[in-house]
Structure 1
Amino acid sequence: MRETASSRTAPSLKLAFTFALREMRSGLSGFYIFLACITLGVAAIGGVNSVANAVSAGIYSQGQSILGGDLRFQLNQREVDVQERAFLESKGRVAVSANMRSMARLPNGSDQSLVELKAVDGAYPLYGSLVTTPAGDDKTLFGEVNGVYGAAVAQVLLDRLNLKLGDQVLVGGAKFELRAVIGNEPDLLSDGFGFAPRMMVSLQGLEAAGLVQPGSLVEHSYKLALPAGTDEAALTAIRDEAKEKFPQAGWSIRGRTNAAPSLSANIERFSQFLTLVGLTALIVGGVGVANAVRAYIDGKRGVIATFKSLGAPGWFVIAVYLSQILMIALVGIAIGLVLAAIIPYVAGYALQSVLPIAAKGGFYPGALAWAALFGFLTTLAFAILPLGRARDVPATALFREQGFEQRGWPKPAYIIAAAAVIAVLCALAIYFSYDRRIATIFIGAVAFSFLVLRGVSVFVQWLARRAPRVRSTALRLAIGNIHRPGALTPSVVLSLGLGLTLLVTLGLIDGSLRQQLAGNLPERAPNFFFVDIQSRQVDEFKGVLQKSAPNGKIVSAPMLRGRIIALNGTDVTKMTIAPEGAWVLRGDRGITYAKSVPENSALTKGEWWPADYSGEPLVSFSAEEATNLGLKVGDTVTVNVLGRNVTARIANLRQLQWESLAINFVMVFSPNTFAGAPHAWLATLTDPTSTPQEEAAVMRNVTQAFPAVTTVRVKDAITIANELVGQLAVAIRAAASVALIASILVLGGALAAGNRARVHDAVVLKTLGATRRTLIKAFSLEYMLLGLSTAIFALLAGSAAAWYVVVRVMTLPAYFQPEVAVMTVIIALVLTVGFGLAGTWRILGQKAAPILRNL
């Protein structure tokens, strides 16, 4: 009976797999860098996503403690009314707190500090524990004794004002005794980031201080502890009922499953960045996979020739070696998954005091499966092309020639297959990203970088080919090695190029931000911001300020807080907004009114209203933010202010100068919009010539004359921001170094893959009279030239990328840092020369006779 094609294929595949297993008995020689590349990429992707999942799970599992309740209702600049309070109390136990910024000053008036003031009632906390040193209950910590209220503070406030427990400070019009140091505040994460030290007092103490006045910037939070067993459906029902019964309350409602949305969003953004960096490392490692496969197949040319001479079809050769490669890849993936599974536990131990990581770690199969899939697809994508070249080489050519270096491109079928796998890899990365636009740009940039780096290597070889003849034998050999057939130039430029470009880009962005924060920004920014100036005090306040700083420029503006609830009549919670514009809709925004165009802004579209305008409410919107929200002149914006919904029509758009740190508002309304509404004022003082002593005198005079006014020294805020940028830059560079490590591994693999050709070159040259010293010098010069070329490209490409991010995205001036350029060149040269000589040292010791006999 005649065999069909399918009946012959199955045994042949089994036979191919058998041969693959037999050949692997000799070990993994030549594949260690292959394994390292796959392991590194899989561990990075799996570990990052596992940590992100652990944090998300921690926020979810500890949601009650982080939020301080099952539900939180937050209002700005007003408290709940009687009906609203009755509604909340009908659902469960209620804890009330108030957050605002204020000034804590020494009784003798010699010093003061900005504080994040949090006032709580006796029910606080509903969940979790407030940990203080020494420990105490509500009465012990915050109760009144002889007219003095108690306070618990962060240690940094004691250090800043040189105080100790038992000392007293003035806040507003009341005295507070510092009775404890805060060790753990259970709902700190849900309150958001604060620039100033924490100070906790009672609601009675806050009332005695007299800080809460009409228009004061204070957040009132009402946290509910619901009956045990209340599920998510019940939470949603309460939320919906609150919106239905009190449509104009203007409160922000958050549940325990979304206890810290800003933290969750930042974790997702950072994990996306790290995932993309890990994917970059994996793709860079794919080049190492291709090099390893090419070198391995080159070493098996005799075996392949034997297979083909005995009649084995081309697909059989592919099956044998693809089976080996995938099995080895599975080993690397398995090692990477083990490391990825361990990373959340390490992160949990290191970050347990900062982030709520579930169970100090956790095992997340989804994240690991995601990393394994990426590792498998990367291996497959980069192994197809070198295997395709081997398939189409005839047996006679395999016996005659040395290898596959100059075989050109394989058949279109292999190119299409590799491109399809890479497309699937990129599509998955984009589809599951937090921000698909950024992921698309990132992957597009990596793909473009591959093409550009390939062009750079061709250009370097072209220059070497046309270089004038030099007298130095070593230099002549080095230049020849750069452009000869099978040269290392493409591999070295590609492997180092991506990693160095990424580091240069991050370094220049970091440098520009630091220059802006430490240099130019303080020079242009105001010296002080003053908040919560009462309307009746504005003129008197300006008088005190002018007397304290006669050369200073004072700018003031009325300010209220409002939350955008609808655009063109559509509820913003039901709209899909681009990430770059979503921040405008997140929480309350500062808003103002004005008769004329404010300073630091210029109209781009529309017209300003007359000074005596009295028609329908109008608003001037920031042009950039309007574009991000899809708004134009004539559209409507509905804002909830003090429990009242106000709908205004956009009359014009303005271009703002956010980088000046002057008074700027996304929304400026016509004055008639808020006629009669209680509000406070804010002001800035700008005096570039003032000394630290004069600034201290301004703070002292203002605080003593107006204890309820909050004074923010801009230089202090910039210093804190600079420290945060520095810490973030270190973290990002550490993460990005994963890509550089992958580049180093690929570089080592590329050099190892070219060792066979180097052995023959070295033997032939030594036979012709070349000394070891000459060869070492030639190889060193070759590696130095390649490293220098790659560093120059990294500087150009990294500078362009950094300029785009800083100027176009951040809208800040860009600065070039020479130290980044020097460091890049040094890293490139050390890596290329060091790895190059390490790989070729053994080659130079090869005996000539065995090699010459096999030529």
Structure 2
Amino acid sequence: MLFLKKIFLPLIYARRDMRAGLKGFYIFLACLVLGVGAIASIQSLSRGLVESLHHDGRFILGGDIALRTVYTPAPPEQVRYLHDHVGPMTTVIETRSMARTTDGKRSTLVNLKAVGVFYPLYGALKIVDEKGDIIKTRSMQDLILQNVVGGRENGIWGALVDSGVLARLHLHLGDWITVGKQRFQIHGIIAREPDRAADVSLAIAPSMIISDAAFPSTGLDTLGSQVYYDYKVIVPGIRTFADVRKVEKKIENRFPHAAWQGRDFLTAAPRLNHLVDILTLFLTLIGLTTLLVGGVGISNAVRSFLETKLPNIATMKCLGAPDKFVFRVYTLQVFFLATFGIALGLGAGVFVSKLAGSFLTAKLNLTDQVQIYPAALLLAAAFGYLTTFCFSLWPVGRAVRVAPTDLFRDLVAPKDQRPALNVILWTVIAAQALALLTIGTSSDPHLVVWFVAGAIATFALFYGYAALMKGAAKRVHVPAAPELRMALANLHRPGNISSSVILSLGLGLTVLVAVALVRFNFIRLITDDISASAPTFFFLDVQQDQRAAFAKMVESFPTAHDLKMLPSFRGRVIAVNGVAAAKALKDQNDAWVINSDRGFSYTSALPAHSQVVKGKWWPADYKGPPLVSISTEVAQAFDIGVGDKITVNIFGEDMTATVANVRKIDWASFTMNFAITFAPGVLESAPATYLSTVIVAKGKA
């Protein structure tokens, strides 16, 4: 009640004073609409995409849980256990391969998926003809299994392909396509693939679906080939994370040393989730930057508005109105106008998020779950209000601070005046609340702390620079040039706007210059610095028996040089110093080390663009206990160094090696480097595929 009594009369005066309209506040509103709208749209879109991923989790994953092995399929005993004791299941085999026309003249990279008879367990595969009409006369399995003529299989395997495959190879339905050693007849076009978003890394190429019964005939399942075997299971009654953990624990207890990696429908697309988190963080910071830069515009708009209200303020003070009363009147006006601007910004944010959400979910084959999220809108509104008060309390407090006679004198001879101490205190509190809200709602507080510190430093820098400029202008005397003398005097006279102008221009130009410099330096890094050492071509999955022929073919081109080949294995980090990798991880931001299978290699020579920062590189003729070299990123993830033990699983076998050294790798060089590299003597007997890079003379590729 006491609060209502205090604001009731100021509220009446504020309402009456606002009848004059929004003159002078259009910039104020524009700043709020842009900043709040950006944050509201980003937060709503992010939340909507996450909701879409959760809603479609079972369709994306293709089951309630999925267990994956690399290189080799799971042992039959494990597969039988899943089917008999966990739930109905299907097998999906995935790899990347080159699809060719039968004459060998055209080829394209495809994401090859070999599926079982129950695929997909969830969702539906939409198959269309070249006109876009859904094929209803034949089932998916009928389209990819061998055709049957007169009760006998005629040896013709069918395939379903993405429309991009047809476009790149200039093919049509009914034409033939070759993958590995096997020919397939194209029977349909994939219009919707329910589990397409599950693995972003494999989704870089158009899809091709065949039967798992046809996969061995391609010859792509040789030991060492990078093939993923996914066992997707429906678990009756599973709903919550606790249910998921119960099932996972049951499987772990039965097969404690199994080489597979598990996923569940609640985290069906971890890489896509991580990508959404990163984009949300950076786009929110961009929106907040817009709001902070606009905050200077808010301050200038409030100051200009109050200058037009000086007669009103003087009149109220002459009639006995105390400073607090006048302060409440104009703070309420700022609040009402801020509410109007924030409401417009929230409306714009909802509209943009719905528009962008419809587009993105359609591209990702997700159900559009983007809607109005009160929490996201409240967060954007909180940023808007805190920014408004942070930048408007000072000019309001300054205007109500002076005496009535000074206010009338301000019309011809303005004088500098600071707000009351309590106004300064509330301004500081608003700034601190804005900083804490930014840090507290971020997915990466460490990064945002630097952002907040940078924002504070930037404001302080330009305010300090403005003070120096005004001080210098005050000390400069130009007796022979009256125009210049008057111009310099106006820079430091009482009531000058030099600080606001310098801050406004400085912040705006800082953002523009920062964006331009980042863009220029990134382009220069790609086109100049990287191009000097970066390979022209990368070749994947070169088989051991193809090495000599491949090298001979490359050497036959006079413009090709610097051929490099390294063995490549896929596996997982499973333990560090005897502790499970998930528990040994120090920071979840480094979970990329354990979230999926990683590439490993072995070499006797220190890889190019690597620098040993701890320990020593092993001799070229090293023969001894297993040693491993790790990157600084892996060392940081587990807080380990020279002498520590790391255990990896490759081809279902656990291998423990001692860390011999830590390397700083220049990943921007785009040359072959592995975060974890073994010394000779450990992996030579294991079947490997080879990665190869070739540099071709500029303009000769």
Which one of 64, 77, 84 corresponds to residue 83 of structure 1?
A: 77
Partner of 2:253: 244
C-alpha distance in 2, partners of 1:675/1:242? 32
Which one of 566, 582, 587 corresponds to residue 573 of structure 1?
A: 582
Partner of 1:177: 185
Do 2:196 and 2:365's aligned partners in 1 also have CA atoms closer than 8 Å?
no
Partner of 1:106: 101
Query: Are residue 92 (structure 1) and residue 87 (structure 2) matched?
Result: yes
Indicate the SS of the match to 1:410: coil
Which one of 435, 456, 460 corresponds to residue 426 of structure 1?
A: 435
C-alpha distance in 1, partners of 2:362/2:204? 19
C-alpha distance in 2, partners of 1:439/1:404? 43
Which one of 45, 50, 59 corresponds to residue 65 of structure 1?
A: 59
C-alpha distance in 2, partners of 1:617/1:494? 60
Partner of 2:15: 21
Partner of 1:604: 613
1:599 deviates by 4.0
C-alpha distance in 2, partners of 1:576/1:471? 72
Partner of 1:36: 30
1:526 deviates by 2.5
1:48 deviates by 1.2
Which one of 307, 310, 319 corresponds to residue 310 of structure 1?
A: 319
Partner of 1:841: none
Do 1:378 and 1:425's aligned partners in 2 also have CA atoms closer than 8 Å?
yes
C-alpha distance in 1, partners of 2:224/2:404? 87
Indicate the SS of the match to 2:214: helix
The residue identity in structure 2 corresponding to 1:112 is S
Distance 1:530 1:648, change over 3 A: same
Partner of 1:455: 464
Greater helix percent: which structure? 1
Which one of 128, 140, 143 corresponds to residue 123 of structure 2?
A: 128
Query: Are residue 392 (structure 1) and residue 387 (structure 2) matched?
Result: no
The residue identity in structure 2 corresponding to 1:391 is V
Distance 1:389 1:689, change over 3 A: closer
Distance 1:405 1:539, change over 3 A: farther
Distance 1:22 1:554, change over 3 A: closer
Partner of 1:138: 140
Cα distance per residue 1:66-96 (max 9 Å; x no partner): 1111111111112111221022213122121
Distance 1:550 1:433, change over 3 A: closer
Do 1:214 and 1:680's aligned partners in 2 also have CA atoms closer than 8 Å?
no
Query: Which stretch of structure 1 is more off in the superposition, 421-430 or 565-574?
Result: 565-574
The residue identity in structure 1 corresponding to 2:124 is S
C-alpha distance in 2, partners of 1:43/1:405? 37
Which one of 356, 361, 383 corresponds to residue 347 of structure 1?
A: 356
Distance 1:406 1:190, change over 3 A: farther
Query: Are residue 378 (structure 1) and residue 387 (structure 2) matched?
Result: yes
Partner of 2:650: 641
1:452 deviates by 2.1
Partner of 2:132: none
Cα distance per residue 1:307-340 (max 9 Å; x no partner): 3233332222212222222222222222222333
Seq. identity, %: 36
Query: Which stretch of structure 1 is more off in the superposition, 280-289 or 525-534?
Result: 525-534
TM-score, reference length from structure 1: 0.74
1:344 deviates by 2.9
Cα distance per residue 1:541-563 (max 9 Å; x no partner): 43444445696333222221121
Do 2:416 and 2:495's aligned partners in 1 also have CA atoms closer than 8 Å?
no
Partner of 1:253: 262
Cα distance per residue 1:775-802 (max 9 Å; x no partner): xxxxxxxxxxxxxxxxxxxxxxxxxxxx
Partner of 1:159: 167
Distance 1:327 1:618, change over 3 A: same
Query: Which stretch of structure 1 is more off in the superposition, 576-585 or 562-571?
Result: 576-585
Partner of 1:189: 197
The residue identity in structure 2 corresponding to 1:148 is I
Q: What are the residue-to-residue correspondences of 1:791-830 with 2, within 5 Å? A: none
Distance 1:407 1:640, change over 3 A: same
1:127 deviates by 1.2
The residue identity in structure 1 corresponding to 2:520 is G
Do 1:523 and 1:688's aligned partners in 2 also have CA atoms closer than 8 Å?
no
Do 1:248 and 1:644's aligned partners in 2 also have CA atoms closer than 8 Å?
no
Unaligned runs of 5+ in 1: 1-5, 693-855
Cα distance per residue 1:674-732 (max 9 Å; x no partner): 3643333333333436834xxxxxxxxxxxxxxxxxxxxxxxxxxxxxxxxxxxxxxxx
C-alpha distance in 2, partners of 1:378/1:293? 13
Distance 1:687 1:635, change over 3 A: same
Q: Over aligned residue pairs, what C-alpha RMSD do you find?
A: 3.0
Partner of 2:372: 363
C-alpha distance in 2, partners of 1:470/1:143? 96
C-alpha distance in 2, partners of 1:557/1:679? 9
Indicate the SS of the match to 1:506: helix
Cα distance per residue 1:574-628 (max 9 Å; x no partner): 3554466433333111111233434443433212345565544221112354245
The residue identity in structure 2 corresponding to 1:23 is D
C-alpha distance in 2, partners of 1:403/1:342? 47
Do 1:46 and 1:367's aligned partners in 2 also have CA atoms closer than 8 Å?
yes
Query: Which stretch of structure 1 is more off in the superposition, 348-357 or 424-433?
Result: 348-357
Distance 1:131 1:504, change over 3 A: farther
Partner of 1:771: none
Do 2:554 and 2:560's aligned partners in 1 also have CA atoms closer than 8 Å?
no
The residue identity in structure 1 corresponding to 2:79 is R
Do 1:564 and 1:638's aligned partners in 2 also have CA atoms closer than 8 Å?
yes
Give the aligned length.
Answer: 686
C-alpha distance in 2, partners of 1:186/1:499? 45
Do 1:58 and 1:356's aligned partners in 2 also have CA atoms closer than 8 Å?
no
1:120 deviates by 1.5
1:359 deviates by 4.1
Partner of 2:336: 327
1:633 deviates by 0.9
Indicate the SS of the match to 1:650: strand
Partner of 1:669: 678
Distance 1:141 1:549, change over 3 A: farther
C-alpha distance in 1, partners of 2:413/2:584? 56
C-alpha distance in 2, partners of 1:202/1:653? 45
Cα distance per residue 1:145-198 (max 9 Å; x no partner): 443322222222222233333222221111122332221111111121433332
1:224 deviates by 1.2
C-alpha distance in 2, partners of 1:415/1:403? 27
The residue identity in structure 2 corresponding to 1:254 is R
Which one of 292, 297, 302 corresponds to residue 301 of structure 2?
A: 292
Query: Which stretch of structure 1 is more off in the superposition, 14-23 or 513-522?
Result: 513-522
Distance 1:413 1:199, change over 3 A: same
Distance 1:472 1:68, change over 3 A: farther
The residue identity in structure 1 corresponding to 2:171 is L
C-alpha distance in 2, partners of 1:423/1:512? 34
Query: Are residue 47 (structure 1) and residue 56 (structure 2) matched?
Result: no
The residue identity in structure 1 corresponding to 2:20 is S
The residue identity in structure 2 corresponding to 1:151 is A
Partner of 1:521: 530
C-alpha distance in 2, partners of 1:405/1:197? 69
Partner of 1:784: none
Indicate the SS of the match to 1:213: coil
C-alpha distance in 1, partners of 2:156/2:523? 43
1:52 deviates by 0.8
C-alpha distance in 1, partners of 2:277/2:76? 40
The residue identity in structure 1 corresponding to 2:10 is A
Which one of 556, 566, 584 corresponds to residue 565 of structure 2?
A: 556
Distance 1:318 1:198, change over 3 A: same
Distance 1:178 1:514, change over 3 A: farther
Partner of 1:211: 220
